[in-house]
């Protein structure tokens, strides 16, 4: 089983009156920023209501290249895709879809008392800071309207079923678990959930520590340089492969011997050591991402500081990564321009002749317009395969041959 890991993460107003929740409104312009300082709502400030006096809501979840997305309606709008991000402290909305076409891009925008609606669940958030998500959309290859983050998620027991593309939001007061999974304690640091795990690297002592649970991280394991140094990990002795970053840098990666989470052992998981700066840098210690968590049904019960995991049909299959050494992003109005953001040295991509800035116009005589960014990356993750590429360089077409292979 192959899995891909390169992360690489008009004015509308609505009013709603219902039991337990106040009306909602979306505010724009300088007048809406009476207090320009960031306002982070407390958990008790965020209100929620289940439909039909229930206590659980189920929503469809899209697992796209190991990122998680859920459809959310913002102030009764049409659904837009929100990324699920346990490692992001505060929920985010991209303001661009909500601004008039003639709006000043630099105009201040504030979302106050914003209603987020999922199937059978309404969530009222008093303050949301806007942030452009064009970068996430470019990496994901599809428009992303927001990020559903820890400030909202900690209100619920969140059940993530990767293999069924489904997510449940349960009322923590009514939730009862009856499965055969394993319960592990959660440790919340600066709003981010952590779980105890042990990572054994070849030739080094095990990293026995608290690992961040990051559903916005589509890789397996990331260890910051500071954490590596604290555990006496010598980067000069790490053997592996340096994958290209989206900013043109390199991320050293290797295979660990084993990752232990509770009673579960995952053999030879890939580990990244991101630079302190850059698009893929982790701001804190070490993190476990969706390439690991997708092997489980994950239940995050932040209100009771516990995590429940039970294996699914993909456990404990090996994790295979990209076989091209090429980082690709989507650009253009329809995100159909597939641009090479980086090429690793001595990789199939560099051997084929690809360069940063090249545009992949076709693969095996199939036009890029008929593909998605996920299609391109899945092809490049198909190991030991020959591809015929049509590439545009300075608008001049070039033909190349790419042979994917095992890199890590």
Residue 364 has a pLDDT of 97
Confidence category of residue 5, pLDDT binned at 50, 70, 90: very low
Residue 36 has a pLDDT of 39
- CA-based end-to-end distance of the chain: 16
Average pLDDT, stretch 49-53?
95
Contact yes or no for 346/326 (Cβ under 8 A): no
Residue 277 has a pLDDT of 67
Residue 227 has a pLDDT of 93
Residue 120 has a pLDDT of 97
Instruction: Among 42-51, 82-91, 131-140, 286-295, name the one with the lowest average pLDDT.
Output: 42-51
| pLDDT tens string 320-342 | 899 999 999 999 989 999 999 99
Residue 129 has a pLDDT of 83
Instruction: Among 152-166, 225-239, 243-257, 267-281, name the one with the lowest average pLDDT.
Output: 267-281
Most confident of 16-20, 131-135, 165-169: 165-169
Average pLDDT, stretch 285-295?
96
Confidence category of residue 65, pLDDT binned at 50, 70, 90: very high
The pair of three-digit structure tokens given for residue 21, joined into one six-digit string: 């929740």
Measured distance CA(218)–CA(383) in Å, rounded? 19
Residue 154 has a pLDDT of 95
Most confident of 15-19, 280-284, 336-340: 336-340
Contact yes or no for 290/162 (Cβ under 8 A): yes
Measured distance CA(131)–CA(85) in Å, rounded? 15
Predicted TM-score of the model (pTM)? 0.87
Residue 281 has a pLDDT of 52
The pair of three-digit structure tokens given for residue 4, joined into one six-digit string: 């891909």
Whether pLDDT at 349 is above 70:
yes
Average pLDDT, stretch 349-369?
97
Domains and CATH numbers, the chain: 27-170 (2.40.70), 182-311 (2.40.70.10), 326-403 (2.30.42.10)
Whether pLDDT at 3 is above 70:
no
Q: Whole-number mean pLDDT of the chain?
A: 87
Measured distance CA(258)–CA(399) in Å, rounded? 41
Residue 2 has a pLDDT of 35
Whether pLDDT at 19 is above 50:
no
Percent of the chain's residues with pLDDT above 70: 87
Residue 248 has a pLDDT of 73
Residue 158 has a pLDDT of 98
Measured distance CA(164)–CA(170) in Å, rounded? 17
Greatest Cα pair distance, the chain, in angstroms, is 63
| pLDDT tens string 151-176 | 999 999 999 999 999 999 999 999 99
Whether pLDDT at 407 is above 90:
yes
Q: Which of 405, 212, 197, 226 is nearest to 321 (CA)?
A: 405
């Amino acid at each position: 089983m192959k899995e891909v890991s390169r992360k690489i993460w008009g004015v509308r107003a609505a009013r709603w009156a219902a039991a337990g929740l106040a009306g909602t409104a979306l505010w724009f312009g300088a007048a809406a920023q009476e207090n320009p300082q960031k306002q982070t709502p407390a958990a008790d400030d965020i209100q929620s209501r289940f439909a039909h006096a229930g206590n659980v809501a189920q929503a469809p979840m899209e697992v796209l290249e190991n990122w998680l997305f859920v459809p959310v309606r913002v102030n009764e709008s049409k659904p837009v895709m929100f990324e699920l991000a346990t490692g992001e402290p505060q929920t985010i909305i991209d303001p661009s879809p909500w601004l008039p076409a003639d709006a000043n891009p630099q105009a201040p925008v504030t979302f106050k008392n914003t209603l987020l609606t999922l199937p059978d669940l309404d969530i009222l958030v008093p303050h949301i800071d806007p942030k452009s998500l064009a970068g996430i959309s470019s990496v994901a290859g599809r428009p992303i309207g927001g990020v559903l983050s820890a400030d909202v998620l900690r209100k619920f027991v969140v059940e993530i079923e990767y293999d069924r593309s489904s997510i449940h939001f349960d009322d923590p007061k009514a939730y009862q678990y009856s499965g055969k999974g394993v319960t592990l304690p959660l440790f919340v640091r600066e709003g981010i959930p952590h779980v105890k795990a042990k990572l054994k690297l070849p030739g080094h002592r095990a990293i026995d520590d608290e690992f961040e649970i990051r559903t916005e991280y589509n890789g397996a394991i990331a260890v910051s340089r500071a954490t590596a140094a604290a555990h006496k990990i010598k980067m000069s002795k790490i053997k592996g492969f340096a994958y290209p970053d989206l900013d043109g840098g390199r991320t050293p990666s290797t295979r660990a011997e084993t990752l232990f989470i509770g009673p579960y052992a995952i053999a030879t998981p890939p580990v990244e050591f991101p630079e302190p700066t850059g698009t893929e840098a982790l701001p804190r210690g070490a993190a476990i991402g969706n390439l690991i968590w997708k092997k489980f049904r994950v239940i995050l019960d932040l209100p009771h500081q516990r995590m429940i995991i039970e294996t699914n049909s993909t456990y404990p299959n090996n994790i295979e990564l990209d076989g091209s050494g090429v980082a690709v992003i989507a650009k253009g109005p329809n995100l159909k321009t597939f641009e090479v953001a980086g090429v690793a040295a001595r990789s199939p991509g560099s051997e084929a002749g690809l360069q940063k800035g090249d545009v992949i116009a076709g693969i095996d005589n199939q036009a890029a317009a008929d593909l998605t960014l996920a299609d391109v990356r899945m092809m490049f993750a198909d190991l030991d395969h020959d591809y015929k590429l049509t590439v545009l360089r300075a608008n001049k077409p070039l033909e190349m041959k790419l042979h994917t292979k095992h890199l890590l």
